[in-house]
Amino acid sequence: MDACPCFPWVWSTWVKTPMIRGADVLIVSACLPYVNRELFDRVREGKIVLMACPEKESSAYYGKIASIIKSCKPKSLTIVTVDGSPHCLALHASVNEAEYILNEEIKRKHYVVVNGQHLVEISPNSVRVARYLHLVDELIKRSPDILKKLEELSLEYRKAIEIQRSSEAKG
């Protein structure tokens, strides 16, 4: 599945591409135009769009994004991915990592699209915590009600519950 061919891919973009210099740049999940075209059109307004798919492309985004930032000094970065994708988390983490590598603050916003419909801003710290599963586990233990919300969102989690219940019923 290729994204709209009129938008370049992060991995295929020259790090000194003139159109990025000083621009508001949107790094977006390549599947978003197919998930919700209206939302995609809204978030790309006034931005230079770079498509990305960590499932399809190299996962070494952190170096590529850091090089783009160092070479072109974009005015801002906006990252929009599909919530719940284990691959898309890498895009958010890569921008945080680029800030670390460059040792400079990057003006940016992180968003996820929940259930293909709702754009939700997340903090860079949410991305950082997501990388440390023992911290996520600690948060779940403190707020087990969060698993009810997960059940509403995740087909995979619902199936895990079903399998667990089936296994318990068998004894």
Max Cα distance, the chain (Å): 64
Q: Where are the alpha helices (DSSP H) in the chain?
A: 32-35, 37-44, 61-72, 89-102, 124-130, 133-142, 146-153, 155-170
Give tens-digit pLDDT for 118-171: 999 999 999 999 999 999 999 999 999 999 999 999 999 999 999 999 998 987
CATH class of the region 1-123: alpha beta
Helix (H, G, I), strand (E, B), or coil: what is residue 122?
strand
Phi-psi region of 115 (alpha: psi -120 to 50; beta: other; left: phi over 0): left
- pTM of the prediction? 0.90
pLDDT tens across 44-68, in order?
A: 999 999 999 988 877 678 889 999 9
Q: How many CB atoms lie within 10 A of CB 90?
A: 21
Spatial CB neighbours of 158, under 8 Å, sequence gap ≥ 6: 151
Question: What residue spans in the chain does CATH classification 3.40.50 cover?
Answer: 1-123
16: closest CA among 89, 61, 103, 74? 74
